[in-house]
């Protein structure tokens, strides 16, 4: 059987993403935006690509830009202004 590969391109930056998402992008070998990599077609790589499918486009599959950044670390708003009495 011939070795199959997948072409994947990093379309959106992982800056501000959860650490596990950033680690997955890094382990796929992406270093910069719009970089295309040929990755082996196996279950491990397909699972990693499925985890970061909102950041990475795979050749042959449509990539949709996420409507809401669901991968960011959400923090509560500051209440310091209200604590000062303003």
Question: Among the residues of 1-86, which ranges form H helices?
Answer: 19-27, 43-51, 80-83
Tokens representing 81 are: 């202004």
pTM of the model: 0.73
* Level-2 CATH architecture, domain 5-64: 2-Layer Sandwich (3.30)
SS3 of residue 37 by DSSP? strand
Domain ranges for the chain, please list them: 5-64
| pLDDT above 60 for 2 | no
pLDDT at 68 (0 to 100) = 65
pLDDT at 1 (0 to 100) = 42
pLDDT per residue over 34-81, tens digit each?
999 999 999 999 999 999 999 999 998 887 777 766 666 666 766 666
Tokens representing 12 are: 């959106």
pLDDT at 60 (0 to 100) = 85
pLDDT per residue over 7-31, tens digit each?
999 999 999 889 999 999 999 999 9
Q: What share of the chain is helix, strand, coil (3-state, %, to 5)?
A: 25, 20, 55
């Amino acid at each position: 059987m011939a070795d199959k590969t997948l072409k994947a391109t990093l379309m959106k930056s992982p800056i501000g993403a959860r650490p596990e998402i950033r680690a997955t992008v890094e382990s796929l070998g992406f270093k910069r935006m719009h970089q295309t990599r040929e990755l082996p077609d196996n279950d491990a790589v397909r699972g990693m690509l499925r985890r970061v499918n909102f950041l990475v486009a795979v050749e042959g599959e449509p990539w949709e830009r996420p409507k809401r950044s669901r991968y960011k670390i959400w923090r509560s708003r500051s209440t310091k202004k209200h604590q000062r009495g303003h």
